[in-house]
Structure 1
């Protein structure tokens, strides 16, 4: 009817059918040609709904007036999402670092145990040998991380999560950058630690400090993701910055200059660790038998 045409037209998803009077509208309902008839009424809404044998919920919902909602303190992201994002970043970094680091350590010890390292050192310096191990595994680890990031982006696009993708895009890029430098830091420590022993049975003992430095920051970020003080501190610690800073960027809690400063601190720290690790690696690689003390390895590297 013309009296209720505007009401029906304002309902989302409704297709109005115009009739001359109430009797014609009721007849269409009886013949099941329309879901319901919207007629003038005496209630607060000014209309009444005529249906055949049950209340048409979709029509009622479409005709219901929805007030405009204004939030004074809107929550950007839920606590569950905070935990999931921190867990995802942390798990990718920790699993890649530990997996590739153990591979570097085992290869180093196997080369010492089989005396292949003596042949290798006759062709290349010890530092170049360590650099090849670290860089080779870094390329593989970063490639895996980039593939995971690409799959995540594709998944968000396919599932229609463009809003989340727009928020997650920049943190993923920062995560890959931090991951590259942070992985080199830990890989150098794995290689240097493994060079101190000559048997695979002794690898676990020398790798314990490196494993703790890898896992403790991960657990700190995951379990204290809602603690601003802890997250701020860990975003500048070299061992936890690759996870903590991208998480803070995702939630918009870091200023624009903070990731730059954190990355510089991580790069400088990685450079210092590489220099120290290379000296340990060169000073202990040819020494077999018992575990080589750090002082002895450093002293041998000076000669």
Structure 2
């Protein structure tokens, strides 16, 4: 009687490249979402965005957004009725109007004056000094014709430009730095050797990029949603109409642009084996992230610089949305800029994958770029 030959357990199937990429991306996303620091920082940031919008609205109403109250009598009500910036407060007579001024319930009073040397027929009554704001509002100015009228004020232009640059800087540096840190930690602890026993290097890199891109774009979308809610509840719908389309384009440009930056962060970090050595290899990438932020601070009123920024791959995510907000970009320009950015992202990712796959398993001294890119590696 023959004994049956024991069968060996079947080896688990090796996942394909696409499946391995998704598994690594899922691992990156879940590990971040389970980190208290990530959750807390995200909630705090969203609260700051909402609080900043609400606070700005409240301060605007208190510090100059509201109209100046002026007491009027029936004879002078028409003088203030159609003046921007002034709110008429009815008084029964001149004495009642003066009492409102003395009690500081109004900033001034406009009363009838029949003096022969006063052709206007009314006088402005103040408390202890001339109410310059009321006098300025009542003064008659000639009409002004502008040959090249700006669509937005300088203050709003500067604020929106800074916001685009700051959000880009924060999201790109934080998530890009996380990719670099995870890459070096896995290499230093030799965990990467275990991962690469079942996952190809390019799939590991692609999964890291995909997972952190989902997290970064999700955070950007959350900021945009909270900003929209804040503008709606504070009644700033006019500003929402101006920034709505540029914000949507910003999310799209950031999605593609972050893939380029993520490949740079991961491939640069794979060249070293210790956290202490990441500063030198990441400095060029960090500079690429910081340049768009400082460029919009110093050159937000320079159309030539903004145009150049909108076509340079690492700054297009800031330059093009700012130009769309200002109305200086033609309809086809964001499409052309996005195509250039996508092509650059594909090229940089391919080069980054080559560097990553040839250096991620090499420990000890720092791997140079020439060694990582050479055919003999």
User: What is the TM-score with the length of structure 2 in the denominator?
Assistant: 0.65
Q: How far off is 1:263 after superposition?
A: 0.5
Q: Which residue number in structure 1 is paired with residue 23 of structure 2?
A: none
Aligned partner of 2:242 among 147, 154, 167: 167
Q: Which residue number in structure 1 is paired with residue 194 of structure 2?
A: 119
Aligned partner of 1:79 among 131, 134, 154: 154
Q: How far off is 1:299 after superposition?
A: 3.2
Q: Unpaired runs of 5+ in structure 2?
A: 1-73, 82-87, 100-108, 124-130
Q: How far off is 1:216 after superposition?
A: 1.8
CA gap 1:181/1:153 in 2 versus in 1, 3 angstroms: same
Question: Separation in 2 of the partners of 1:160 and 1:245?
Answer: 27
Q: Which residue number in structure 1 is paired with residue 277 of structure 2?
A: 202
Question: Separation in 2 of the partners of 1:14 and 1:68?
Answer: 28
RMSD in angstroms over aligned alpha carbons?
Answer: 3.7
1:105-184 superposed matches below 5 A: 105-184=180-259
Q: Which residue number in structure 2 is paired with residue 284 of structure 1?
A: 359
CA displacement, residues 118-156 of structure 1 (integer Å, 9 cap, x when unaligned): 110011111111111111111111111111111111222
Question: Separation in 2 of the partners of 1:212 and 1:9?
Answer: 60
Question: Separation in 2 of the partners of 1:146 and 1:68?
Answer: 46
Q: Moved runs in structure 1, 4+ residues, more than 3 A? A: 5-15, 35-38, 40-49, 64-75, 299-302
CA gap 1:109/1:80 in 2 versus in 1, 3 angstroms: same
Deviates more, 1:255-264 or 1:213-222: 213-222
Is 2:308 the counterpart of 1:233? yes
User: What is the TM-score with the length of structure 1 in the denominator?
Assistant: 0.79
Q: Which residue number in structure 1 is paired with residue 333 of structure 2?
A: 258
Question: Separation in 2 of the partners of 1:185 and 1:44?
Answer: 71
Question: Separation in 2 of the partners of 1:150 and 1:272?
Answer: 32
Q: How far off is 1:234 after superposition?
A: 1.1
Question: Separation in 2 of the partners of 1:44 and 1:285?
Answer: 87
CA displacement, residues 217-249 of structure 1 (integer Å, 9 cap, x when unaligned): 321222111111111111100011100110011
CA gap 1:231/1:65 in 2 versus in 1, 3 angstroms: closer
Question: Separation in 1 of the partners of 2:375 and 2:362?
Answer: 10
Q: Unpaired runs of 5+ in structure 1?
A: 18-24, 50-56
Deviates more, 1:159-168 or 1:282-291: 159-168
CA displacement, residues 156-198 of structure 1 (integer Å, 9 cap, x when unaligned): 2222222211111110000000011111110110000000111
Q: Which residue number in structure 2 is paired with residue 52 of structure 1?
A: none
Give yes or no for contact 2:354–2:373 (8 Å, CA) kept in 1.
yes
